[in-house]
Amino acid sequence: MTGMTDSRKDAASFRAARDLLLRHRDDYDAARTGFSWPELHEYNWALDWFDVIAAEHPDRTALRIVTPSGPEHDGPAGSAGAASSAGAAGGDAERGTRISYAEMAARSSQVANWLRDMGVQRGDRLLLMLGNIAPLWETILAAMKLGAVIIPTSTLLGPPDLADRIARGQVRHVITESVHVPKFREVPGAWTRIAVAPTIGGATAPASPAGPPGPASGPPGAGPARAARPAQRPAPGTWLAYEDSLAASREFAADGATHASDPLLLYFTSGTTAQPKLVQHTHASYPAGHLSTMYWIGLRPGDVHLNISSPGWAKHAWSNVYAPWNAGATALIFGYDRFSAGTLLQVLSEEQVTTFCAPPTVWRMLIQSDLTATDVSALRECLAAGEPLNPEVIEQVRRAWGITVRDGYGQTETTGQVGNTPGQAVRLGSMGRPLPGYDVTLIDPVTGKPAGEGEICLDLSHRPLGLMTGYLGDAAQEAEAMRDGYYHTGDVAARDADGYITYVGRTDDVFKASDYRISPFELESVLIEHEAVAEAAVVPAPDPVRLAVPKAYVSLAPGLEPSAEVAQSILAFGRERLAPYKRIRRIEFSDLPKTISGKIRRVELRGQENERAGDGTAAAHDPDGIGGPFRRGPSPRGTTEFWEEDFSW
């Protein structure tokens, strides 16, 4: 078909690998034994896979965006937001947008042709800052067809972060929603500016006869001014209208071959401990690498897959783009600005979701609702990713729905590495076994040798296709991550005799108390079982006797207020379930600091504890008679902090 590259052999290799995983979706051993990564040399996933399956299944829904009902979200009949045979849907019949595989293939070709006319060339870096709206998916495919490099960016970022990304990422083009244009006013650079108009139910807005936005002007905070439609490439400072791409040809011809090793994505990591790194992926490592993620999810052709994730972060690409479209499934998007557990459960039922993945924070909010009231008759698979899911949450979902939430593990730097896979026994607390294509070694940080517990590492002599090429512009960090023949994840885990891997924590989160090694996640998993605890983060608090003691920062369930009674109840709950050396000794009620992608920043809490400890001069005491060494003074308390010695036991 039009736009097809000369990579049919590579495309056949990809399809064969994908089909093997679909065939053995319930047979872990057969999948592990039979799977090998496809051999890809010249390969453009958008052209050689997406457009091909779009021709095979033109009417199948590729993208479904559910938005709130109302005139500000649903377009009138006949608009771009209304139902049509072409595949874009919205209007009064259903909330939001529905786009078929055929329509998505055609729209992405239009966008690719238009972007090329506007100066986007192979290898150019394009900062993509869009919410969960159809132009995001259209542009991802369009950029792939062109061979441009995408820098996914969260809409939550402000001018300083954007300036950093544009400078460090050497950005040549920016595509964002018009509401975010003011954020770029003070960002220097001669990059192409493209603004996406407010959407109708998540669909691309119709082209405006007034033409595209012109040079930024008007009062602070105002959107870009309108100007006449340009007949040639834009002048510097001009904001182009994305909607003008609707006038471009729906047939696309590539300007040359795309090599599988060509760069495709540059991700700025979420930065839980340091400045975000630039992670580079290729046309092979993410599109084809996510075959492992497809297998972990348990996707089938025609499935309706709902994943809760924000654009700009790797998990969004994992489960809202590559994994579902590798399977030929529908990517269902929860397009609500404000999260509501009740609304999400309603969408699960109304949209007949078959596979559902959400981060632990969402699962913890869902179990506060009556799960038994939700129709989940179509639901087959439930998953969690981002951080380990606490066993108590898994058990509550199982009791209500009869489905076990399956945990998985991966990073921005990789695709899915480890997971509890369909049809296999799930061991509560374990994140599963290595996924097909990944050989995981646990390296003892002291000896540097393989061990039963240690840092999760990938043997580079069997390099998985889904591993990044490296950290762009940071040779030192890349060398550190790839040292001694392994890729080092920075996460610690333990493996049992049957190969199941249990997460322990980040290498810099694990700490010692009274010379015992403490895993924050293990303690947090106990705390989350208490009815008053919504979320918890455990860090070491400096102590004059034990050097450090486990302290829990706790976010309370809705309707509860911090009090001594609640603190004592939680501490007592932990005392009954934890060995004495693991016991939570202190508790403080507060909101938990998180990265912009929603991960808890324990590094910030640790820093707060160390700062509070300061250089105190209080005399050391030894209540347990265990001897030193001693710190010079205990940490000052937070305003809602309680210690176990405050209570009688």
pLDDT digits (tens, 9 = 90+) for 108-162: 999 999 999 999 999 999 999 999 999 999 999 999 999 999 999 999 888 988 9
Position 542 scores a pLDDT of 87
Position 24 scores a pLDDT of 98
Beta-carbon contacts of 33 under 8 Å, excluding residues fewer than 6 positions away, are none
Better-predicted residue by pLDDT, 211 or 625: 211
117 three-class SS = helix
Query: Quick one: pLDDT band at residue 73, thresholds 50, 70, 90?
Result: very low
d(CA 578, CA 309): 33
179: phi then psi, degrees, rounded to nearest 5: -65, -20
Strands 192-196 and 173-177: parallel
Strands 416-419 and 405-410: antiparallel
Query: Quick one: pLDDT band at residue 386, thresholds 50, 70, 90?
Result: confident
Position 303 scores a pLDDT of 98
Residue 23 token pair: 């065939």
Position 446 scores a pLDDT of 79
CB 330 within 8 A of CB 61: yes
| Range name among 332-336, 508-512, 553-557 with the lowest pLDDT average | 508-512
| Range name among 39-53, 69-83, 551-565 with the lowest pLDDT average | 69-83
Beta-carbon contacts of 108 under 8 Å, excluding residues fewer than 6 positions away, are 46, 50, 137, 138, 139, 140, 141, 142, 145, 252
CB 126 within 8 A of CB 173: yes
Residues 367, 373, 375: CA angle, nearest 5 degrees: 105
406 three-class SS = strand
Position 515 scores a pLDDT of 59
Cβ-in-10-Å burial (0-12, 13-18, 19+) of 126 comes to: buried
Q: What is the CA radius of gyration of the chain?
A: 26
The fraction of the chain above a pLDDT of 90, given in percent, is: 65
Q: pLDDT averaged over the chain?
A: 86
**Is it the case that residue 178 has pLDDT exceeding 70?**
yes
Better-predicted residue by pLDDT, 4 or 406: 406
Query: Quick one: pLDDT band at residue 390, thresholds 50, 70, 90?
Result: confident
Position 232 scores a pLDDT of 60
Query: Quick one: pLDDT band at residue 580, thresholds 50, 70, 90?
Result: confident
- For the question of whether the overall pTM of this predicted structure is more than 0.85, the answer is no
Nearest alpha-carbon partner for 246 in 86, 47, 126, 90: 86
Residue located via tokens 């770029």: 184
d(CA 116, CA 234): 12
Position 145 scores a pLDDT of 98
Rounded average pLDDT over 434-458 = 94
Nearest alpha-carbon partner for 522 in 535, 506, 538: 538
Position 271 scores a pLDDT of 53
**Is it the case that residue 559 has pLDDT exceeding 80?**
yes
Better-predicted residue by pLDDT, 584 or 228: 584
Instruction: Catalogue the E-assigned strands of 312-361.
Output: 330-334, 355-358
282 three-class SS = strand
Better-predicted residue by pLDDT, 408 or 519: 408
Rounded average pLDDT over 316-329 = 97
Position 612 scores a pLDDT of 83
Position 3 scores a pLDDT of 44
Query: Quick one: pLDDT band at residue 6, thresholds 50, 70, 90?
Result: low
**Is it the case that residue 88 has pLDDT exceeding 80?**
no
CB 157 within 8 A of CB 268: no
Rounded average pLDDT over 167-183 = 96
Residue 241 token pair: 């209208």
Query: Quick one: pLDDT band at residue 83, thresholds 50, 70, 90?
Result: very low
Position 388 scores a pLDDT of 75
Beta-carbon contacts of 277 under 8 Å, excluding residues fewer than 6 positions away, are 268, 269, 271, 471, 474, 477
Beta-carbon contacts of 6 under 8 Å, excluding residues fewer than 6 positions away, are 42, 257
Over residues 459-514, the pLDDT tens digits come to 999 999 999 999 998 999 899 999 999 999 999 899 999 999 998 877 767 776 76
Query: Quick one: pLDDT band at residue 581, thresholds 50, 70, 90?
Result: confident
CB 620 within 8 A of CB 586: no
Residues 103, 208, 199: CA angle, nearest 5 degrees: 55
Rounded average pLDDT over 540-567 = 90
**What are the structural domains, with CATH classification, of the chain?**
101-288 (3.40.50.12780), 509-646 (3.30.300.30)
Inter-axis angle of helices 101-117 and 134-146, nearest 10: 60
Query: Quick one: pLDDT band at residue 231, thresholds 50, 70, 90?
Result: very low
In the DSSP assignment, the letter for residue 151 is: E
Rounded average pLDDT over 6-12 = 82
Residues 293, 177, 61: CA angle, nearest 5 degrees: 45
Query: Quick one: pLDDT band at residue 571, thresholds 50, 70, 90?
Result: very high
Query: Quick one: pLDDT band at residue 221, thresholds 50, 70, 90?
Result: very low
**Is it the case that residue 1 has pLDDT exceeding 90?**
no
Number of Cβ within 10 Å of residue 382's Cβ equals 22
d(CA 103, CA 251): 12
Query: Quick one: pLDDT band at residue 77, thresholds 50, 70, 90?
Result: very low
**Is it the case that residue 25 has pLDDT exceeding 50?**
yes
Nearest alpha-carbon partner for 364 in 601, 537, 535, 525: 535
d(CA 206, CA 261): 36
Position 84 scores a pLDDT of 35
